[in-house]
Structure 1
């Protein structure tokens, strides 16, 4: 397959992830140094700023920080800074700006303004030469290497793993739970291939997809929805499983495909009732995750079991491949979706 063939770039970048993740897990020194600085300046609370796929990674980090560090966390609305000129008092606050490209003007402005307002600022990006890195007090290079396909794949999982290692190191951990993440990622892609192929055959003519999850995996539901929308132009929505049952479930019917992310742990444990409810309404359910075999679903994509807080690094891998192959089956080119660019400039 040459780079010019549709899907060649996205295919290569999906396949690079096991080795990339193993390398990130093994080379923790820079992340540990940033974590030590944060631990030595304990914040009152944390704020997260991001856009797009990076926003989903930030939501994952929100769960990590609240659960593992016991700190309250908020998601920044960049426009309050860029459009409305808000300048809240951020003394003793940790602000983490997540941008794979480091090229979002609004995140740069948010980071600069937060630093001026007294926050301890951290940039998490794949571009150490970016202005965002220069603007922050501290920086984490996620080390994914160049990503050429428009749809983010390896930069997304690299961001997730880097954020996990950062939070784990702040609490004094050494990343033990992620030590074999490369092997688990390789097993995920290898062992899910046939299940992904069956899902492609089943959903290639779908028009509407709802993704749902609870807990840490909510970030995976959000990213799954985005990947399917941007590569296959599907009408997609993502919900917390709890929110789905609080109203939106009324729009679920026989014409709806539901992708339920269900890994072993507290979040996955409560997804059984959610998937049963949408199944009762006639939805075609695909369960993805290490708890998929226990879920009421028409199709399942299994993922190796790991501790719940790093399951999102693995869960998204077969969904990336599903998005890739659905796009190709529907006549698209996932490397270059129409109307999209690698870096989106917003303010």
Structure 2
């Protein structure tokens, strides 16, 4: 363990308001330019390629593209290309590869193959000099700065904002005005670390956790589960609220904690029947979301989302859950800076 467990992860979480501001101030013009160039190509379908944390950011982009641009999207299975040698016709398809490092061999190989099969290829990375950026026709730099902690934090929120600006730019609305409030709101959330530390005490001895949401909040649930597993080693299962009702609800009791990410909008409305069922089963329910939903739960964290579009809320939703993973890990006597068996670049093929 390092001399100060969690020092690096804590520092990088704290950088997130500044990173979001940097993207809005410095990165947005380049993102708009890429969006205009891609829109001019007229893609009719989008394939998103990613692993791990970046896969959750890609899932967020899928919701954005389908809801706000009306473009059908799919999440790729890279092994069809890298292991099985499939070469589908990707004419008029936009392939977006999301990777903080831009160095994973399977992402590079599958993106290169996609470009050869006629796709318009876009890399979204934190490294403009990466192999992935090199093989892609277009590139967006998320400008998060060096990330040294193994659990990704600032590159996740940076990816979300960059993808949001890109999708807005595809529709000719690339100014990002609605997103301007995010740095200040993010800073306010991160200042509430003591509040999250108190919540973490509830889960120090948890043997498993369930995290659920719907709509734009579902990628947040998946990313929160990943953060808990890779830092504290608590098995955390993420489900869409709809999928939770199709069987997995049977494992929920008053012992295993459930975290519900409740968007302030249509996703939260769709999740309401799930919340009612969870309460009916006596679940230890923590809610991350609007004040009224938190008040009806066993515990929770109120998000400052009044007046903020549901499509932007994931940038804020994940912040208390990053802090929660960090604080639970520290409480369990482990070092979130040094998760076992992890490397910054995963060499999958």
The TM-score bracket by the shorter chain reads over 0.9
1:137 aligns with 2:157: no
Residue number in structure 2 paired with 1:23: 22
Distance 2:5 2:193 in 1: 19
- In structure 1, distance between residues paired with 2:310 and 2:186: 15
* 2:250 equivalent in structure 1: 250
The answer to whether 1:49 aligns with 2:49 is yes
CA apart distance, 1:279: 2.4
Q: Distance in 2 between matches of 1:275 and 1:230?
A: 27
What do the CA deviations read for 1:111-164 (whole angstroms, capped 9, x no partner)?
A: 000000000000000011111001000000000000111000000000010000
How many residues are matched?
345
In the other structure, the counterpart of 2:170 is 170
**How far does the alpha carbon of each residue in 1:242-290 deviate from its partner, in whole angstroms, 9 at most, with x for none?**
1101110011112211010012110012222212212222221110123
Distance 1:158 1:322 in 2: 19
Which residue number corresponds to residue 181 of structure 1?
Answer: 182
Question: Which segments of 5 or more consecutive residues in structure 2 lack a partner in the other structure?
Answer: none
Q: How big is each residue's C-alpha offset from its partner over 1:196-229, in whole Å with a ceiling of 9 and x where there is no partner? A: 1221111111111000000011000000000001
SS of match in other structure, 1:70: coil
Q: Name the counterpart of 1:236.
A: 236
1:114 is aligned to 114
> Are 2:288 and 2:294, in contact at CA under 8 Å, matched by a contact in 1?
no
Unaligned runs of 5+ in 1: none
Preserved contact between residue 121 and residue 136 of structure 2 (Cα < 8 Å)? yes
Partner Cα separation in structure 2 for residue 286 and residue 50 of structure 1:
29
Give TM-score, length-normalised by structure 2: 0.96
For the 8 Å contact 2:287–2:294, the answer to whether it is kept is no
Which residue does the alignment assign to 1:146?
A: 146
CA distance in 2, matches of 1:307, 1:195: 25
TM-superposed CA distance for 1:42, in Å, is 1.0
Secondary structure of residue in 2 paired with 1:255: coil
Aligned residue in 2 for 1:34: 34
Aligned counterparts, 1:65-214, within 5 A: 65-173=65-173, 174-190=175-191, 192-214=192-214
Counterparts of 1:152 and 1:283, CA distance in 2: 30
TM-score, normalised on structure 1? 0.97
CA root-mean-square deviation: 1.4
User: 1:239 & 1:163 partners in 2: Cα distance?
Assistant: 23
